[in-house]
Amino acid sequence: MSPAESAQPVLAVSGLCKAFGPVAAVQDVAFEVAPGEIVGLVGPNGAGKSTTINMILGVLQPSAGQIRIAGLDVARRRSEALAQTNFAAVYAPLPGNLTVEQNLRIFGMIYGTPRLAARIDEVVAEFDLVRFRKTRCGVLSSGEQTRVALAKAMLNRPRLLLLDEPTASIDPSTARDIRACIKGFAEAERGGVLWTSHNMYEVAEVCHRVLFLSRGRILLQGEPEALIREHGEATLEDLFVAVAHERLDAEGAA
């Protein structure tokens, strides 16, 4: 990574809005993710998290605002920007009729991954998938499928990694290993991670910074421990509940 690349945000979002008819799903959202930083995007159901992620991925067209990935404007240089991005979510399973290796090979070719065969060897080992390499994804357990999705998300060594509930279907021991792997990726590769989860213990452990969304707006943001102290809550989960129940004033808390 060049000095210029290491200095600029991996992700920069400004003035981001999305309306579905009269409904404003996302309203004037702005934030950055720095190289090596893991940022938690949290909030109650319907807060605008998935809409925000889908706009970053280019799936949805913003009503207003700008998204830059590794300095590239997604609106104007979509293919280049998204080539430096990858994504994993529990609601986006890989094709079940293909084996683990076939899925990784196909997605690796889509991303133009160099030394693809060797890279597949690396990720199947990293995510403990060697024994499932020739197994169709459709017969794997939900936790095993999640590990395949994370291996796919790491294939192209993305500058920006988007994770939506990445450990939701994994047992606690494996989830701990996955969290360590993601933290290692951010530190070693200087990749930026945007992590959504309803597991506030996990968010507090993994994320350097947290953004609380409520009704499409960023209500709170900061380091997890600092936010807990500032708002007089015992845990990040207690703070989440306060946001979800709208006990915090959006004007005074932002």
What is the predicted pLDDT for the residue at 41?
95
Is 129 part of any domain?
A: yes
What is the predicted pLDDT for the residue at 92?
80
Is 128 part of any domain?
A: yes
Tally of structural domains, the chain: 1
Is 144 part of any domain?
A: yes
Residue 105 pLDDT greater than 60, yes or no = yes
What is the predicted pLDDT for the residue at 244?
76
What is the predicted pLDDT for the residue at 251?
39
Is 137 part of any domain?
A: yes
**Digit-coded pLDDT (tens) for 181-227:** 899 999 999 999 999 988 899 999 999 999 999 999 999 999 999 99
**Digit-coded pLDDT (tens) for 125-157:** 999 999 999 999 999 998 889 889 999 999 999
What is the predicted pLDDT for the residue at 254?
37
3-state secondary structure the chain: CCHHHHHCCCEEEEEEEEEECCEEEEEEEEEEECCCCEEEEECCCCCCHHHHHHHHCCCCCCCEEEEEECCEECCCCHHHHHCCEEEEECCCCCCCCCEHHHHHHHHHHHCCCCCHHHHHHHHHHHCCCHHHCCCEHHHCCHHHHHHHHHHHHHCCCCCEEEEECCCCCCCHHHHHHHHHHHHHHHHHHCCEEEEECCCHHHHHHHCCEEEEEECCEEEEEECHHHHHHHCCCCCHHHHHHHHHCCCCCHHHHC
Of the candidates 63, 107, 87, the residue with the CA atom closest to the CA atom of residue 194: 87
What is the predicted pLDDT for the residue at 115?
96
Answer with the residue of higher pLDDT: 251 or 23. Answer: 23
Give the domain range for residue 110: 93-157
**Digit-coded pLDDT (tens) for 26-74:** 999 999 999 999 999 999 888 999 999 999 998 999 999 999 999 999 9
Tell me which amino acid residue 44 is.
P
What is the predicted pLDDT for the residue at 3?
54
Is 149 part of any domain?
A: yes
Is 70 part of any domain?
A: no
Is 132 part of any domain?
A: yes
Identify the band that residue 163 occupies on the pLDDT scale cut at 50, 70 and 90: very high
CB 26 within 8 A of CB 91: no
Residue 166 pLDDT greater than 90, yes or no = no
Identify the band that residue 109 occupies on the pLDDT scale cut at 50, 70 and 90: very high
Is 103 part of any domain?
A: yes
How many CA atoms does the CB half-sphere of 209 hold within 13 Å? 16
